[in-house]
Chain A
Amino acid sequence: MSRVGVFVCHCGTNISATVDVAKVAEEMKNQPGVVYTEDYKFMCSSPGQGKLKEIIDEHKLDSVVIAACSPHMHEKTFRNAAEAAGLNSFKVEMANIREQCSWVHPDKAEGTVKSLDLTKKMIEKVRLNEELDKIVMPVTKKALVIGGGIAGIQAALDIAAAGTEVIIVEKDVTLGGHMIQLSETFPTLDCSQCIMTPKMVEASLNPNITIYTYAEVEALDGYVGNFRARIRRKAKSVVEEDCTGCGICQEKCPKKVDNPFEMGHGKSKAIAVPFPQAVPNVPVIDRDSCIYYKTGKCRICEKVCGPKCIDFDQQDEIVNVDIGAIVVATGYDTMPLDRFGEYGYGKYKDVIDGLTFERMASAAGFTEGEMKRPSDGKTPETVVFIQCVGSRDESKGVSYCSKICCMYSAKQTMLYKHKVHHGKAHVFYMDIRAGGKNYEEFVRRAIEEDDANYIRGRVSRVYEKGDKLIVKGADTLSGRPVTIEADMVVLATAMTARKGADKLAQTLGISYDRYNFFSESHPKLRPVETNTAGIFLAGACQAPKDVPETVAQASAAASKVLGLLSQETLKREPITAEVNEANCIACFDCLNICPYGAITSKGITDRDGNIIKEVAEVNPGVCQGCGLCNAACRSKTIELRGFKDNQIYAEINSLAV
């Protein structure tokens, strides 16, 4: 017979006001297996916990039920206290008579009856609880950062600074992400390349950082502290180690291609680096464009290459890396604009998006920093900036605010004004959201010093008339229609999750929201963690963010990684599945249904080493304790510790009427 102690908490009057706690304590005395009951003012208080320990010791309790608040609130507290008294922490259960009883059922009689049931139910369960030991796992002291933009680089640099090895996997040919495309950054107007390039170089030179560009994470196995990632390094057709970055191949390549880095405006070559400061400064052959891959002839780059590092037969390489923690920093995309016909994007060359404007304003961009509109190269005298294109627009776009557009539109009016002194910038906005340090001042500067004309309202239509773009809109403050003859229109496009973010989330086993942004574990208290232990988030892959926020989150993620990797071993809850090998018949429904790949096949051998039967085996490090396998198993041969069938049965049976 078990020796259960039942402690009924008053929670001040939070419980005792609507539950007869004394009666609960008294009646539980009669429950089989119960040897001690008491009601107490504040069980979670220091004296309350002290009492718990004392009684466990004095009455040699082997199980404890605390009838009090939600286990989400204080289960850990009481389990720790019980453990300190020498009781296995999993022999403690809580009956939730506060959140799910006293606070929601004002009738004392009803509340008391329900409390009796709930407490009895947990007594029946706890009697069947097994003593479980926490699972101890080793930690691989190495981190993986997915994404080589500002978020990824910052996280990698911070992790590396602590002496921990880190791998950056970047999908693109070079590090830099979106930030390296920007001209100048708000609210200081410092040149993005000037501040980003040194970080990229620093990362590439740091001995603790390994960079795989032109690479993607294809699969992830394992669990916190012990992940194994399969990385595909796509064939660059150039031997990276031998390339000196001289650029002669790019110069001699006869095949011109659109340059996506310049948003399709400049030209590049079939073998190229996207921009001169690329890290690593190694060109890649675009096999879709290269003449050789199409016709089998050309090979000019091969001929001109001094170090002979062109390798047309290069294959993708698979690298498996063991890591202990992961930072996901895959950034964002911008919303495709084909849905917004009213703005004429795609139809009129002089309607451009914000990122194209960034390239136009960049000294290294396709106009070398000069304001020249795409259609005829003329200097635009009047420019209209339209904000919230797709953002805060549930019907055509997304309901969220993309957060950075207010600021970058203000910045862009300033950049424009600084280059075209006589020009006029108009901004159509819904609200100005400038909630950051020096942000409001920055917007005021655009308006007051750089003469931007801010119009509160929406644009209904943009159309061409002669060489002008007619922008029709409304000024909702004055209530009048507005028509502006513009030379160029710049759209502040909504930020969206990366294309394929959902797929990556599935690969990594993290959750994502309905916009495919990755979900943080808790919006306030665990903003950089995911629900999958050991995987952290940085930057705009989680939600729209500007550079300072991204950098802050990247450093936060890095500190979480370092905290995790500073431990020699990890302990985790032993609520994992276990297989009764004698009964398992290896139908592998469990293996098929497990969301974590925690179940594998195992051969049972006889004394001579011959495999006599196959059974399912659970990797307790990977198992997260969802219990899907338990429900799927027809003969209940695989069971979830802590929630085994007999425990649930006992709960149901205790509620028999």
Chain B
Amino acid sequence: MESLQSKAKELIKDASVAVIIGYAAGTKKGKTKPFFAYSEEDCEKLIFTPECVNNLTIYLTRKFDFMKKGKVAIVAKGCDIKTINVLIQENQLKRDDVVILGVSCEGVVDKDVILDRAELTADLPEDKKSIKCITCDVNTPSDFDHLFGEGVESKAIEPMTGGIYDEVDKVRGMAQGEKWNFWMEHFERCIKCYACKKVCPLCYCDVCITEKNQPQWIETSAHERGNYAWNIKRAMDLSGRCTFCGECDRVCPAEIPLNLLNQEMAKLNYEAFDGYRAGYQTEEKPPFVSFKEDDDEGFIR
């Protein structure tokens, strides 16, 4: 990643950017951490490995102050750039305010996978990859200002198949009662820590509905009723927006399969709304704020 470091240094040196949001080695084996480089010296700590799982675009949102510091550079994988696109689409970010240091990526590690040093240089085996990487078609970023890592071809995939979508299909195939029990078993474990929303770059509301109690749509208690309402509300709010960075699923201390919920919605949006996939463009209006007169209404009598 010498070229990434030297480009970063260059950007800092000629003051093109105020800060570079990237990754550095973590404190524990197999861990990396989000890192903010303000000086040329800092830039030497920047890395990019398959352990760089975080979606750093959260630091571009209003939840943080980085965008107030001036122009910001960010190390972003193809999947992270999808989030950037949605943020642009939703008026949260201006493309010109960010320098995208795109990194080619053949997959990052799944949660709880800790790689040996030797594995780090070799190709990452499929079973150690995060599930989002199985269906990735943006291995080489679609939009960037500078690209690092050559020769990685974006895979051609059939959208909404394989990987998580096979899991989605499994749940779709369950009987109604089975589905209910499946989700209740999961939601029962929810501890309402809201780590899912906190880590999500698209949950950027200043005041979340969960913080309102007049009225109290989402009960604060971590019981199934409140947990169900919360998880459904969140999946609904991310419908047509979620870019499958998988961060919520990764951070959930209760191991609730949040990817399943969000990707069900992604699949639905793709199927019902003309192949819409969030994060692949910045101009089109998202499905929930647009419509077609001939949208399907088979369910309405």
Contact = CB atoms under 8 A, between A and B. Distances in A.
Interface of A: 582-589, 592-593, 614, 632, 634-637, 645-646, 649-650, 653
A634 B237 contact: yes
B289 A585 contact: no
Contact of A585 (B205, B285, B288): B205
Most buried by B among A585, A588, A634, A649: A634
Interface in B51-100: 62, 90-92
B91 A632 contact: no
A33 B53 CA distance: 55
Contacts of A645: 215, 217
B289 A646 contact: no
B215 A635 contact: no
Given A593-B289, A632-B288, A646-B215, A585 B204 contact: yes
Contacts of A585: 62, 92, 204-206
Contacts of B289: 589, 592-593, 632
B209 A635 contact: yes
A582 B205 CA distance: 11
B288 A589 contact: yes
Interface of chain B, main secondary structure: loop
B205 A634 contact: yes
Question: For this complex, into which size category does the number of interface residues on chain B fall?
Answer: 20 to 34
A181 B208 CA distance: 64
Nearest to B90: A587
Given A583-B206, A588-B90, 11 more contacts: A584-B206, A585-B62, A585-B204, A592-B289, A593-B288, A634-B205, A634-B209, A634-B237, A635-B208, A646-B214, A650-B215
A649 B91 contact: no
23 contacts: A582-B206, A583-B205, A583-B206, A584-B206, A585-B62, A585-B204, A585-B205, A587-B92, A587-B204, A588-B90, A588-B91, A589-B90, A589-B286, A589-B289, A635-B206, A635-B209, A635-B212, A636-B217, A637-B207, A645-B217, A649-B216, A649-B217, A653-B215
A74 B290 CA distance: 36
Contacts of B91: 586-588, 614
Nearest to A601: B91
Given A587-B91, A646-B215, A650-B215, A592 B285 contact: yes
Contacts of B214: 646
Contacts of A649: 215-217
Contacts of B90: 587-589
Interface string B23-58: 000000000000000000000000000000000000
Contacts, number: 53
Contacts of B206: 582-585, 635
Contacts of A583: 205-207
A632 B91 CA distance: 16
Contacts of B290: 592
B25 to A, nearest CB: 34
Nearest to A644: B215
Interface string B227-262: 000000000010000000000000000000000000
A614 B93 CA distance: 12
A593 B62 CA distance: 23
Top 3 closest A-B pairs, CB basis?
A649-B215, A592-B289, A635-B205
Contacts of B288: 589, 593, 632
A121 to B, nearest CB: 15
Contacts of A588: 90-91
A288 to B, nearest CB: 32
A632 B214 CA distance: 18
A614 B67 CA distance: 15
Interface in B265-301: 285-286, 288-290
A634 B241 CA distance: 12
Contacts of A646: 214-215
A628 to B, nearest CB: 9
Contacts of A636: 209, 212, 217
A589 B90 CA distance: 8
A646 B216 CA distance: 8
A292 B144 CA distance: 49
B220 to A, nearest CB: 15
Contacts of B217: 636, 645, 649
B206 to A, nearest CB: 5
A634 B92 CA distance: 15
Contacts of B62: 585
Contacts of B212: 635-636
Nearest to B211: A635
A41 to B, nearest CB: 37
Contacts of B205: 583, 585, 634-635, 637
A636 B91 CA distance: 18
Contacts of A653: 215
Contacts of B204: 585, 587
A635 B92 contact: no
Nearest to B203: A634
B171 to A, nearest CB: 25
A13 B43 CA distance: 85
Most buried by B among A614, A635, A646: A635
A656 to B, nearest CB: 12
Nearest to B205: A635
A373 to B, nearest CB: 45
A589 to B, nearest CB: 5
Nearest to B236: A634
Contacts of B207: 583, 635, 637
B61 to A, nearest CB: 9
A653 B213 CA distance: 14
Nearest to A634: B237
A582 B208 CA distance: 13
Contacts of A587: 90-92, 204
Most buried by A among B90, B91, B209: B91
A649 B214 CA distance: 9
A612 to B, nearest CB: 10
B262 to A, nearest CB: 15
A589 B205 CA distance: 13
B53 to A, nearest CB: 26
Interface string B195-209: 000000000111111
A412 B62 CA distance: 74
A582 B90 CA distance: 18
